[in-house]
Amino acid sequence: MSIRERLSGNEAVATAMKQINPDVVAAFPITPSTEIPQYFSTFVSNGSVDTEFVAVESEHSAMSACIGAEAAGARAMTATSSNGLSLMWEMIYIASSLRLPIVMSLVNRAVSGPLNIHNDHSDAMGVRDAGWIMLFSENNQEAYDNTLMAHKIAEHKDVLLPLMVCQDGFITSHSIENIQLEDDDFVKKFVGTYKPEHYLLNDKEPIAVGPLDLQAYLFEHKAQQAQAMKNAKNVILEVSKEFEKLTGRKYGFFEEYKLEDAEIAIVCMNSTAGTTKFVVDSLREKGIKAGLLKVRVFRPFPGEEIAKALSHLKAVAILDKADSLNSIGGALFEDVTSSMYTSGIHVPVVNYVYGIGGRDTTSKHIEQVYSDLAEIVKTGKIENPYRYLGLRKGDEK
């Protein structure tokens, strides 16, 4: 039975972690994810969980401790943001290459420098090819639900990859919203018990973890990682269907908001989807057929499915909350356009980099994007496919 509550995004994730009751949580504080291990440590101290909480000296150590715990046969979790994720860099790759299904909450924040503690997606985009499954969360409810589903996805025998649940720093992490929580017994049954097949503390099967892996085998091991990421697509859908059956809350690779009959649409991730839905509703009242595709699963990237969903549109804008600094668009733009090209779908597409360092993105900014799309449909021309949204001095294109 669901329980109505009012929680911030960080509280929601910490509550999910409490209900999961992992064997080990290792973490080091960094804004804006600090509250997650802070809240969780209170659950440890008051006996709500029997987790081994490891207060480490750095984020590199946090991921190292999670790797050691998971390799030993324990279920491990952590949380971080921005520069903390950057300090984990070496261990992020090691966690995925060792096929350890660690679950991490990544509260998205701009990566230094210059120093900025506010939200964009530069941290997540920096590790997008590190071999982690990546789920994005529009609001607090989705951050909670993604966390509940995370272990069932990551620990599946056909996957065995680490998973990060992303949410926007401060925008959702510190904002209080109404939320539906599941009761503890439901979560315990849904998530299940972690029963790894191979682990260091199994005295009946002595193994080595992380040995030297040279020319003879590394290529094949990387191909196995890639196959596991492909396998994750089916597992994500299976787990989402089971979750929907039990809770009534439906999740797929992405959400199509009034997209079926739309002529123009925006593609974006995380909290910006909420603002865009508001604008779509407003434009619909004026007779403008606007729509939204909100990407929830970024890795593995559901390219073929997204291309098909966008194929009927007359113009599309893809919003990136991080700049790849490559002069040809952001990471989401690259993935979507590559997928459309490979699928033989040719729709006019434009990219907007926005919200860097926490710059506010208002409904007026989103309205401008839809206005630009309408002009593209009218004229059939894209003057510049690589644009900025909300840049000062009016230099937005």
Number of other residues whose CB lies within 10 A of the CB of residue 27 = 29
How do strand 315-320 and strand 254-257 relate by DSSP bridges?
unpaired
Residue 287: predicted pLDDT: 98
**Cα-based angle 53, 56, 58 (whole degrees, multiple of 5):** 140
Question: Between the CA of residue 58 and those of 63, 101, 202, what are the distances in Å?
Answer: 9, 21, 29
- Nearby residues of 131 by Cβ (< 8 Å), 6 or more positions away: 93, 96, 97, 161, 162, 225, 229
User: Domain 254-394: which topology?
Assistant: Rossmann fold (3.40.50)
Q: Is 7:15 a contact under the CB 8 Å cutoff?
A: yes
- Say what the pLDDT of residue 126 is: 98
Residue tagged 């003879």 (tokens): 216
Average pLDDT over residues 201-226: 96
Residue with tokens 């420098």: 113
Q: What is the pLDDT of residue 255?
A: 98
pLDDT score, position 393: 78
What is the per-residue pLDDT across 120-178, written as a single tens digit (0 to 9) for each?
999 999 999 999 999 999 999 999 999 999 999 999 999 999 999 999 999 999 999 99
CATH number of 3-247: 3.40.50.970
**pLDDT tens track for 341-365:** 999 999 999 999 999 999 999 999 9
Domain 3-247 shares a fold with domain 254-394:
yes
pLDDT tens for 250-308 read 999 999 999 999 999 999 999 999 999 999 999 999 999 999 999 999 999 999 999 99
**Mean of the per-residue pLDDT values for the chain?**
97
Q: Which two tokens stand for residue 86?
A: 């950057």
- Judge if the upstream peptide bond of residue 101 is cis by omega within 30 degrees of 0: no
Confidence of residue 54 (pLDDT cuts 50, 70, 90): very high
* pLDDT tens profile 174-195: 999 999 999 999 999 999 999 9
Domain ranges of the chain: 3-247, 254-394
